[in-house]
Structure 1
Amino acid sequence: MCLEKLFHGPLTVCLMKNHIYLIIGFCLLAMLVAGSQLPAAAAPKAQFTPFPTPTPGPDGRIIYLALENDSAWRIAAIFGLSLDELRTLNKWGENPIIAPGDQVLLGFAGPADSNPTPGPTSTPTPSAPTPTLQSGSGKLCVILFDDLNGDAYRQEEEISIPGGAISITDRSGDVSKTADTESGTEYQCYEELPEGNYNVSVAVPDGYNPTTVMNYALRLKAGDTTLLPFGAQKNTVAIAEAPVPRGTGKSPMFGIIGALFLVSAFGLAIFAGRMARKTR
């Protein structure tokens, strides 16, 4: 239809209409291409936090130190006990109130006391005195790592979180050590600790949620080196307030549209030049 108007009207009117059609077509094409490249958000996978069973004490009792928000039902579910069993072991009533730091009896690793029936004894043969064994020492190493994927296991790229608090105490009350967690990739180690039963706990800094149990009881033997990783992950508020790095968060749509406009302008210029030659 435009070719017919070349012989009945001005050439500029026809060229302007062709320009408008081409611009509209390129804009629609750019919008379709940009829309097809938008990524789809994937739902995060559910994470599971393991709870290790505390080490039995010298008397055979297995003790768990209650954490914040712990309840009788939650502790029973974590360690595979029925609520009635947990009530019986701890001599609780119907609705016990559990505070952080309370000792909860989970069971016995073996009989705490043994009373065998005495039998006939023979006169012991005197023996040479044996030297008294001297107790040795061991080493405890602790790290509070940034659990980026929330799987409660430390990967090589997950570094230490600064600003947390470490507490190491033994049951006899002779050892009590506290320190702040530091940034880096190495464990914070405490050497020359006398062998015995220890309780190690870590507190996370503000803006983080723990992904592992934060209190651990263990038996440290002479010559042992024990590594204790504790994990934490930024909560949703901290993630939302984190600054967006430069160069991210920009859509490539504007660059695509600009490139398409340049191509369309170049094509229109060629088309206008050819039309001008035909009218001469």
Structure 2
Amino acid sequence: MSLADGVETDGVARGLRMRKSAAILMVIGVALLVFAFTVPPYMQGQARTLPTDLDVVIVSDSPQGYTRTEHLTTAPTAEVDEIAVRVEQTVEDPEGEVVAEILDQVTLIGHSRFPVLDPTASLTGSPADHSGEIREGLHYFFPANTLRNSYQFYDITLGDAEPVDYVGRDGDIYTFHQNRRFQPVDDQLNYSVERTIEVERESGIIIGKQESMIFHEPDGDREVDFTYTQDTRDTLMAYADEVKTTLLAADVLAFGAKVAGLVLIGIGLFRTGIFRIRR
């Protein structure tokens, strides 16, 4: 074999190696792009969907000395994206005696947090007791990516829903307000309530709630105010922060995978020689 033949053979081998490495780089680059457009969006969708294993205790105190405790749990159902929510609520008077016990069960749509359009809701211990009803309105959660508008909000005492209105924001915390006056509960009782709800917008988690309730009874008005305790606010905010961290991680992962994928594809194309100027 002549020297020229050897040089030509080496050149061919080098060209084959270049094309092989170029193909590998482009395959990896395409795989990274596929990853970027599938895995991070899935992570974000899961983070924005109501989990099926929540177990949280929400405590509200009152200047009148009452304490309201809501034990909220979630569980999966047989249907995709439908989450069973169970809330056991107790109210204790200033002496520590239980004066009210309410059990609320409702199935929510996992991604929107609204009740399903099936008769799955039941409520006991409230003036609005019912079983096997279709419920309207939010109550325990807002949708992830909460918008600055009005939402139907369900009232457990009245058993119906009316709008709660967006009134302002403090960073990622949106504030909603509702004022319902002299709503009839039965022939002897009317009810007024003013509530302010704070929602972490990305997660849709209610991190604060203030409610001023007045029961207009025949012998006079009875008022009780409830506000989330600081420990409850901290617990709910920590959960909201976990959701936000997952969403941010997914964004960073998607961006990094897209950049890396495009760079590898670019290097691969360059190594194929298609951009080489031929003389």
TM-score normalised by length of structure 2: 0.32
TM-score normalised by length of structure 1: 0.32
Q: Which has the higher strand share?
A: 2
